[in-house]
Amino acid sequence: MTDRKLLVLFGSQTGTAQDAAERIGREAKRRHFQCRVEALDSYDVANLINELLVVFVCATTGQGDPPDNMKMFWRFLFRKNLPPSSLCQLDYAVLGLGDSSYPKFNFVAKKLHKRVLQLGGNPLLPVALGDDQHDLGPDAVVDPWLLVLWDKILALYPLPPGLEIISPDTRLPPKYTLHYLAEDSPHPDGDLLQPTAPRAVPSELHPFAARMVSNQRVTAESHFQDVRLIEFDVTGSGMTFSAGDVVMIQPQNCPDDVQQFCQLLRLDPDRRFVLKPTEPGTSLPALLPQPCTIRHLVTHYLDISCVPRRSFFELLSYFSTNELEREKLQEFSSAQGQEELYSYCNRPRRTTLEALWDFPHTTCAIPPEYLLDLIPRIRPRAFSIASSMLAHPDRIQILMAVVRYKTRLSKPRRGLCSTWLASLNPEQGDVRVPLWVKKGGMKFPADPDTPVIMIGPGTGVAPFRAAIQERVAQGHGGNCLFFGCRQKSKDFYCQAEWEELVTKGFLTLFTAFSRDQEEKVYVQHRIRENQRLVWELLSSRNAHIYLAG
């Protein structure tokens, strides 16, 4: 009998593709396959020629770009020198996750499907194009596609004699087992996030613990929105960046939420544990120290404030000792219950912690080792860098709106990262924030004679502040900025800085304050009013236009 091995490879930006990949992994285990689920960039792509059965799950980001965790794989796969028969022994399927409101809908999945076909792969079925815009989300496509996929796979790799598909009523084992350490076992001293001497350039796996230097509100106290200009000291990190680049920040949960979560699940936050993989070959979560406390796990790793996905309710239903709660959880995890789940979770932006409150009997019965299967890890957040190294060496500044809005739930919704950063006060001691830098999508012209027209309403002006600082330091003229906000007196960010540059002749500035007069005025009105100048810069001086919002 042939080896029943399945490899599931995913490229995921926000976690949706990873969630789908892990679902396929669970369904494979129920069909007695040996199954590995891996991010495309952590897989050694040279091994692909030896694989017999692979399911690719990939998202499309931005303007048809592959997610960050499949960029190296993508480059390798499109090398010109790969022989056209490289993958001739591979049976494969591609599941795409995209959003049809973008022009390059599921571009990465379509292109991947075509490329593997070119390299000799044998597609088991057409590429699936999951769509975020569908009323039921991507599952509307994924559910029926998976049913067909399993039919095809089981035709090639039938179940071994005497084995049945494991019933959906049976709970699968957790990915890791959790072993508590004795209270009196010795433990290493010190905080877990030490400002260490960096081994290499900081990255997601090795962030730099940057010191927060200042945290200043730049909107009037009377303004409805709280916007901050925050500065970090990155001396000694080895990080370099230019205008248009992005800083990634790894946020954490607030102490109140951590305490509530531990109380709900009856966990002692100071207990220490080690993790062991249930199956050989599974790697441990990269960002968790071993041993680790429950408090560290819940504060820095488990995303208890994210809106829970369908898979959360599915796994939760297995722990339920209460019939009413179990029925509701099963409904939320069924294909028919997706509209109801959407109005319970997605529309009001209900958090994982709040959902756990609504299922108290089930929540206190969750075995701790299932926490890492149940709740995804906290994702890093991206911010445009709002300063230039030429103007502020060894510093990174960001311009950040604190996310806070109302839904039908009584408590206002708060952004995890912006709320956490806004709460930090560098005047009360040494405040450290884990971060690293990433190349951005905007490149500014190297030729000093090429003018740039920048359109940056609101906090969209952040990357242009970096660009203008950089270009002024390099002696580049031709800087034209269209800035818009509500009121000159309330949210005109960096006003003094812009006005000084205008006086010195380094900047041409057009402002639109939408609420300062009877009729609303936006940046597009100012562009139209100055159409002659804009056209002159474009037609005779080859200007570049940048837009950020």
Residue 281 — pLDDT band, cuts 50, 70, 90?
Answer: confident
The three-class DSSP label of residue 481 is: strand
All CATH 1.20.990.10 domain ranges in the chain, comma separated: 257-374
Nearest to 326 by CA among 272, 356, 362, 290: 362
Q: What pLDDT sits at residue 25? A: 95
Distances (CA, A) of 18 to 96, 118, 542: 12, 26, 43
Residue with tokens 């041993």: 291
Query: Exposed e or buried b for every residue in 158-180, given b needs 16+ CB within 10 A?
Result: eeeeeeeeeeeeeebebbbebee
Q: What is the CATH number of domain 5-156?
A: 3.40.50.360
Pick the CATH number of 452-547 from 3.30.420.10, 3.40.50.80, 3.40.50.920, 3.65.10.10: 3.40.50.80
For 182-220, the pLDDT digits (tens) are 887 776 554 445 444 546 899 998 999 999 999 999 999
**pLDDT surpasses 90 at 28:** yes
33: phi then psi, degrees, rounded to nearest 5? -90, 150
Tens digits of residue pLDDT in 75-133: 999 999 999 999 999 999 999 999 999 999 999 999 999 999 999 999 999 999 999 88
Confidence of residue 2 (pLDDT cuts 50, 70, 90): low
For domain 257-374, the CATH class is mainly alpha
Share of the chain above pLDDT 90, in %: 87
More confident residue, 455 or 187: 455
Residue 198 has what pLDDT? Answer: 47
Distances in Å between the Cα of 521 and the Cα atoms of 254, 515, 517, 518, 526 are 39, 8, 8, 9, 8
SS3 521: coil
For β-strands 544-547 and 452-455, DSSP reports them as: parallel
Start-end of CATH 3.40.50.80 domains in the chain: 452-547
CATH 3.40.50.360 residue ranges for the chain: 5-156
pLDDT at 187: 64
With beta carbons less than 8 A apart as the criterion, state whether 165 and 30 touch: yes
Phi and psi, residue 53, nearest 5°: -145, 115
Rounded Cα distance, 511 and 162, in Å: 74
Range in 44-53, 84-93, 110-119, 281-290 the model is least confident about: 281-290
Give pLDDT tens digits for 467-524.
Answer: 999 999 999 989 999 999 999 999 999 999 999 999 999 999 999 999 999 999 999 9
pLDDT value at 1 more than 50: no
Express each pLDDT in 374-415 by its tens digit.
999 999 999 999 999 999 999 999 999 999 999 999 999 999
The mean pLDDT value of the chain amounts to: 93
